[in-house]
Amino acid sequence: MGHSQTYSAAKLTVTHTCLTCSTGASSGIGEACACQFAAAGANVIIAARRLDRLEAVQTKIQGNWPKVQVLAIELNVRNREDVERAIAGIPGELADIDILVNNAGLAMGVDPVSDIGDEAIDTVIDTNIKGLLYVSRAVVRIMKRRGSGHIIMMGSIAGMAGYANGSIYCATKSAVHSISESLRAETISIPIKVTEIKPGMVETEFSVVRYHGDKDKADNVYRGMEPMTADDVAESVVFAASRHPRCVVSEVVLLATGQASATLVHRE
C-alpha cells in the first residue's frame, strides 16, 4: 500500500513562521507538518532529540523549498530548562512564532495498570503532558506579547475514550484535550487560536516505540487495514492554520477508513 508524498500549498493567513516542536519532529507527523508548512511558504523551526535525523529533515526542506528559512533545534521537551533556553535562544525574526504545532507524544508498552513500570509512567507523562505544557507556556508568552498566534495540539482519539492496556497514554491525551480547552478560554480576548487534532490509526514510528522496537508487533497493529499516513494528519494541521482570522478550527477527529474507534477496526 504505497503512497507518494504530496504537500499542501495552502495560503497561510499568518506572517509565515511555524514552530513544529516534538520529540518526533525528526520523523513522522512532525516532519510531515514541517514539510507541508514549508510548501505553503512558512519558515519553520523543527525541534527534536535526534539531532542527526533532524538535520536530515532540515536539508530536505532547504533542498525542496530554498526560499524558506529552516532552523533545527536539539530539544528534549521533558527538560523544562532545556525548553526555556531553546525558545529564548531562537534568533531574529524566527523568534516571533506565529504557529506552534505541539506534536510531542509517545506511548510505551501495552501493560495493564497493575503491571505498568515506573519508567513508562514517568516518560509518557513527562513527555505528553509536562513537555507539552513547558513548550506551550514558553510560546504562549511570545504570542501574548504580540497579540496573536495559533497553538495546534496533537491529541488523539485515545483521549476521547480509554481502552484496555492504554491507561497512561489515554490519560495523557485526555489531558491534552483539557489543556487545549483551558488555553482556548484563557486567550479568547487576545486572540490566540487553539486547535486540537485527534488522529486515529496513523502508521509512523509510534507503534515501534510503543512495542519497544519490535517491528513485527508494530506492523501487526495495521494488519488487514490501511492506516492513515503522517501526511494525512499534516494536511489537517495546515488546513486549520490557514483559515481566515475570523475562524478557528477547534477540533479535528481523523479516523482511518474502516476505523470506528481506537479499538474497533474492520480488517480484511
Q: What is residue 4's predicted lDDT score, i.e. its pLDDT?
A: 40
Marked catalytic residue, from 7, 134, 173, 193? 173
Q: What is residue 109's predicted lDDT score, i.e. its pLDDT?
A: 95
Q: What is residue 230's predicted lDDT score, i.e. its pLDDT?
A: 96
Q: Flag residues of the chain having pLDDT under 70.
A: 1-25
Per-residue pLDDT tens over the stretch 201-244: 999 988 899 999 999 999 999 999 999 999 999 999 999 999 99
173 is catalytic: yes
Per-residue pLDDT tens over the stretch 93-118: 889 899 999 998 899 999 999 999 99
Please report, in angstroms and rounded to a whole number, the separation of the first and last CA atoms in the chain.
14
User: Which residues are within 8 A (CB) of 225 and not within 5 positions of it... i.e. 6 or more apart?
Assistant: 201, 256, 258, 259, 265, 266, 267, 268
Q: What is residue 190's predicted lDDT score, i.e. its pLDDT?
A: 95
215 is catalytic: no
Q: What is residue 101's predicted lDDT score, i.e. its pLDDT?
A: 94
Q: Which of 188, 191, 219 is nearest to 204 (CA)?
A: 219
Marked catalytic residue, from 169, 198, 211, 222? 169
